Amino acid sequence: MTRADWLLTAGERGNPATRLDERHPDGSAWTGGNRARALVHGAAYFAELLARIRAMRAGDLLLFTDWRGDPDERLAGPGTEIGTVLSRAAERGVVVKGLLWRSHLDGLRFSEQENRHLGEEIAEAGGECLLDLRVRPGGSHHQKLVVLRHPGRPELDVAYVGGIDLCHNRNDDATHRGDRQSLPMAAAYGPHPPWHDVQLALRGPAVGDVETVFRERWQDPAPLGRSPLVRLQELLHREDTSADPLPPQAADPRPRGPHTVQVLRTYPNRLLHGYPFAPDGERSIARGYLKALRRARALVYLEDQYLWSPRVVESFAQALSVNRRLRLIGVIPLVPEQDGRLTLPMNLIGRITALDELRRAGGDRVAVYGLENRAGTPVYVHAKVCVIDDVWASVGSDNINLRSWTHDSELSCAVLDQSRDPREPADPGGLGDGARVFARELRLELMREHLDAEAPDRADRRARDPLCDPVSAFDRFAETAAALDAWHEDGGRGPRPPGRLRRYVPPDLPTPKRLLATPLHHVLVDPDGRPMGLRRRNAF
List, for residues 116-152, the tens digit of each pLDDT value. 789 889 999 999 999 999 999 999 999 999 999 999 9
Q: What is the pLDDT confidence band of residue 95, given thresholds at 50, 70 and 90?
A: very high
Dist CA 102 CA 113 (whole Å)? 9
For the segment 418-471, what is each residue's pLDDT rounded down to a tens digit? 999 999 999 999 999 999 999 999 999 999 999 999 988 766 656 689 999 999
Dist CA 391 CA 1 (whole Å)? 10
Give pLDDT, residue 521: 85
Mean pLDDT, range 47-69, rounded to an integer: 98
Which of 191, 198, 172, 214 is CA-nearest to residue 73? 172
Dist CA 260 CA 279 (whole Å)? 27
Give pLDDT, residue 397: 98
Mean pLDDT, range 292-318, rounded to an integer: 96
Could you write out the DSSP letters of every residue in 73-104? -BSSSTT-BHHHHHHHHHHTT-EEEEEEE---
pTM, full prediction: 0.95
For the segment 364-415, what is each residue's pLDDT rounded down to a tens digit? 999 999 999 999 999 999 999 999 999 999 999 999 999 999 999 999 999 9
Q: Contact, 325 vs 40, CB < 8 A?
A: no
332: left (phi over 0), alpha (psi -120 to 50) or beta: beta
Give pLDDT, residue 232: 65
Domain ranges of the chain: 35-257, 282-455+462-533
Mean pLDDT, range 313-320, rounded to an integer: 97
Residue 73 scores a pLDDT above 90: yes
Helix (H, G, I), strand (E, B) or coil at 368: strand
Dist CA 218 CA 246 (whole Å)? 9
Give pLDDT, residue 297: 98
Q: Could you say which of 1.10.10.370, 2.70.170.10, 3.40.50.2300, 3.30.870.10 is the CATH number of the domain covering 282-455+462-533?
A: 3.30.870.10
Which is higher by pLDDT, 342 or 287?
Answer: 287
Which of 236, 188, 243 is CA-nearest to residue 215? 243
Q: Contact, 208 vs 419, CB < 8 A?
A: no
Q: Contact, 267 vs 14, CB < 8 A?
A: no
Q: Contact, 43 vs 181, CB < 8 A?
A: no
Mean pLDDT, range 519-524, rounded to an integer: 86
Give pLDDT, residue 513: 81
Q: Spelled out in words, what is the top-level CATH class assigned to the domain 35-257?
A: alpha beta
Give pLDDT, residue 202: 98
Q: What is the pLDDT confidence band of residue 111, given thresholds at 50, 70 and 90?
A: low
The amino acid that residue 474 corresponds to is F
Helix (H, G, I), strand (E, B) or coil at 310: helix
Dist CA 421 CA 434 (whole Å)? 7
Buried b (16+ CB within 10 A) or exposed e, 38-75: bbbbbbbbbbbbbebbeebeeebbbbbbbbbbbbebbb
Dist CA 329 CA 475 (whole Å)? 10
Dist CA 528 CA 540 (whole Å)? 11
CA distance between the termini of the chain: 25
Show the DSSP H helices in 237-383 as ranges.
284-293, 310-322, 343-362
Give pLDDT, residue 526: 93
Our separate counts of H helices and E strands in the chain read 15, 18
Give pLDDT, residue 474: 98
- For residue 525, give every residue at least 6 positions away whose Cβ sits within 8 Å of its Cβ, in sequence order, or none: 346, 347, 350, 403
Q: Contact, 455 vs 439, CB < 8 A?
A: no
Residue 104 scores a pLDDT above 60: no
For the segment 203-242, what is each residue's pLDDT rounded down to a tens digit? 999 999 999 999 999 999 998 877 666 666 666 667 767 8
DSSP letter for 494, please. Answer: S
Give pLDDT, residue 107: 45
Give pLDDT, residue 459: 63
Helical (H) or strand (E) element with 264: strand 259-267
Give pLDDT, residue 344: 84
Give pLDDT, residue 273: 76
Do 282-455+462-533 and 35-257 have the same topology in CATH?
A: yes
CA 436 and chain centroid, separation: 21
- Pairing of the two strands 198-203 and 195-196: unpaired
Q: Contact, 10 vs 29, CB < 8 A?
A: yes
The amino acid that residue 100 corresponds to is L
Dist CA 443 CA 112 (whole Å)? 36
Residue 285 scores a pLDDT above 80: yes
Give pLDDT, residue 47: 98
- Report the mean per-residue pLDDT for the chain: 93
For the segment 482-516, what is each residue's pLDDT rounded down to a tens digit? 999 999 999 999 999 999 999 999 888 888 888 88
For the segment 30-55, what is each residue's pLDDT rounded down to a tens digit? 999 999 999 999 999 999 999 999 99
Q: What is the pLDDT confidence band of residue 518, given thresholds at 50, 70 and 90?
A: confident
Mean pLDDT, range 191-207, rounded to an integer: 98
Show the DSSP H helices in 219-374 as ranges.
228-236, 284-293, 310-322, 343-362
For 321, other C-beta atoms within 10 Å of its C-beta total 12
